[in-house]
């Protein structure tokens, strides 16, 4: 609920004065984001890698890690493209304000539906 209130009250003018994070900051944030790993665990829970012996266990773990990296790479690419398109569409403060309000309403709706 706190995030919804912050989104609703946020002023688009704050974006002009805020410092844009660096690529390295975004990369480190992505690597050390525990929510990403938690969501991957829930997505990949049904994935069963057949392991017949303890000798094959490292292979199964490596395969699971590679699968996680492939999923993350596709999700990040989709977010990057969506952000680039939104950046081109949202030119005015009114449009940014409208998007903030829409996201705030969606956040409150998701809380009330659970």
For 77-86, how does the pLDDT look when each residue is reduced to its tens digit (9 = 90+)?
888 888 888 8
The pTM assigned to this predicted structure is 0.54
Q: What is the pLDDT of residues 54-110, one digit of tens each?
A: 677 777 778 877 887 788 888 888 888 888 888 788 878 888 888 888 888 998 998
Give the DSSP letter string of 23-35.
HHHHHHHHHT-HH
Q: Any idea what the Cα angle at residue 106 is, between residues 7 and 108, rounded to 5°?
A: 75
Q: For 37, how many CA atoms within 13 A lie in the half-sphere containing its CB?
A: 7
The span from the CA of 60 to the CA of 41, in Å, is 15
């Amino acid at each position: 609920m706190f995030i919804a209130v912050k989104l609703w009250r946020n002023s688009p003018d704050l974006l002009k004065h805020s410092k844009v994070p660096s690529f390295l900051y975004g990369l480190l944030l992505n690597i050390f984001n525990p929510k990403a790993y938690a969501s991957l665990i829930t997505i990949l829970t049904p994935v069963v890698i057949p392991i017949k012996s303890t000798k094959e266990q490292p292979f199964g773990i490596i395969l699971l890690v590679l699968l996680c990296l492939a999923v993350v790479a596709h999700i990040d690419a989709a977010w990057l493209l969506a952000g680039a398109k939104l950046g081109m569409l949202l030119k005015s403060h009114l449009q940014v304000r409208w998007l903030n309000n829409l996201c705030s309403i969606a956040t409150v709706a998701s809380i009330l539906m659970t």
